Amino acid sequence: MSIRKYFPTAAAVFAAMLLTISAGTASAAGISWRSSLQAAAEESGRTGKPLLLKFTASWCGYCRKMKAETFSDPRIVEHVSDCFIPIEVDADKNPQLMQAVGVKGLPTTVIVSPELKVVRKLTGYQNADQLDQHLTQVCPATHRRSADSAPAVTQAGATSAQPVAGNTGRPAPFPQDPAPPAAAPQETAPVDFSFAGRCLVSLVDGQKLAQGDPRFSIDWRHRKVCFASRTEMQTFLQNPDRYWPQLSGGCPVTAVDENALVDGQPELGVLFRGKIWFFRSEADLVRFEQNPARYVDGAMKMQQR
């Protein structure tokens, strides 16, 4: 289900949950985070200011970074205080609200109109400059949601082992993208990203290796993953099952033959039955292509245990 189609349902559920949501506590300095979602919604309706929901969790490193740097920046403090009704939402205590709004990873910042319509959703870490740009697009304004369009996701139709590059007789490794030009250094937290920091959307849709950008990262299934751009990140969030590697990146050959889950390499990835699989080594890849159904079926049984 796309984010665009999800918004009306989110608004209805959001309105129904106002009495049950557990919010964060108000800050003594800086942004005055409201402690009651119901009271905040009433204040939003009374003043015409949209709500700004900050979804966070104690275990989320980038959430802490945004709190310490982004939301303490004087520009952000002034902008949020002047234009929005801010409220901090503990994701662990409010899973229903997360599902209703369509929050898939942390940190996520959501802007909701006084009519309880989601008008903007920012997934992942935002530095002060990035967040300020998004806030400016909403306030001061009529609080109409910008028509953000995400690229359509084409469903894969492969029914047999498909090379990710070329048309050779066997699955081939992903081609490497040329190294990107040097960019100005960014303030990012030191993070060990899963899948060697490769962009999963580029692997599946572009069938190429592309390095992810730490600015466009999320926590997903207890893994930290990053994407080549915001567009790829949004595409992933619309259909994560399409892009998430089978066995969470584990090698199906070692899973079946050795009863051990060993991480595979994105460079040794193939599409089979429309799903992406990673392999530990070239030798494992060769064994897989000799009897792919055996390894896929066996790996699926192992995954269901």
First to last CA, the chain: 27
pLDDT at 15: 52
When computed from its CA atoms, the radius of gyration of the chain, rounded to whole angstroms, is 22
Mean pLDDT value across the chain:
76
| Fold exhibited by the domain 3-138 | Glutaredoxin (3.40.30)
What's 75's DSSP letter? H
**Range scoring the smallest mean pLDDT among 11-15, 180-184, 216-220, 257-261:** 180-184
Average pLDDT over every residue of 12-40? 64
Q: Which of 120, 98, 40, 31 has its CA nearest to residue 68?
A: 31
Question: What are the φ/ψ torsions at residue 21 (nearest 5 degrees)?
Answer: -75, 140
Start-end of CATH 3.40.30.10 domains in the chain? 3-138
pLDDT band for position 156 (cuts 50, 70, 90): very low
The β-bridge relationship of strands 118-123 and 213-220 is: unpaired
pLDDT band for position 94 (cuts 50, 70, 90): confident
Express the helix, strand and coil content of the chain in percent, nearest 5 each: 40, 20, 40
Please work out, in degrees rounded to the nearest 5, the angle formed at the alpha carbon of residue 93 by the alpha carbons of 89 and 97.
Answer: 60
pLDDT band for position 183 (cuts 50, 70, 90): very low
Q: Which residues contact 36 (CB under 8 A, 6 or more apart)?
A: 23
Beta strands in the chain (DSSP E): 51-56, 85-90, 108-112, 118-123, 213-220, 223-227, 265-272, 275-279
Q: Which residues contact 79 (CB under 8 A, 6 or more apart)?
A: 132, 135, 136, 139
pLDDT exceeds cutoff 60 at 12: no
Instruction: Tell me if 303 sits within 8 A of 295, measured CB to CB.
Output: no
Question: How many other CB atoms are found less than 10 A from the CB of residue 18?
Answer: 16
Q: Return the percentage of the chain with pLDDT > 90, whole number.
A: 29
pLDDT exceeds cutoff 80 at 150: no
Supply 298's token pair. Answer: 């066996």
